[in-house]
Amino acid sequence: MLTQTKQQAAREPSHPPLVETAIAKSAESLTITQTAFLRPSGEVSVTAQTSGRIRSVSEDFHVGTTTKKNTLLVALEMEDLQAGVEQAEARVEQAKAALAEARVTRRKAGGTRGKGLFQ
């Protein structure tokens, strides 16, 4: 085309390139069979700091998912735990009362002994 003159180019009609077309048929289904072994990149054991009955499980808690630090995964029923806290608080109050009683008893015993020895 570059070596042709304008007159030659005008006389010779350009022909479109020859192209053959066909209708492609798609497969209705494709089955690939493969055997593979998958291994996790790491495993973590999750344990609770305390035992109790599970009240609810987070929607984000699934095998194989990644979670962020401090994400609540499982909520425990609080009734039994709260009862345990109240029992522990009652034992602390009993221990405080026993300590106060022991101090009073010690003062009484110590004061009587001291007066008898030095008088």
Say which range, 6-15, 30-39, 101-110, has the weakest mean pLDDT: 6-15
pLDDT given at position 109: 85
36 to 27, 39, 103: CA distances (angstroms): 25, 10, 74
DSSP of 52-80:
--EEEE-TT--TT----TT---EEE-HHH
* Distance from C-alpha of 28 to C-alpha of 47, rounded to nearest angstrom: 49
* Residue pLDDT, tens place only, 58-105: 888 887 788 888 888 888 888 888 888 999 999 999 999 999 999 999
pLDDT bracket for residue 119 (50, 70, 90)? very low
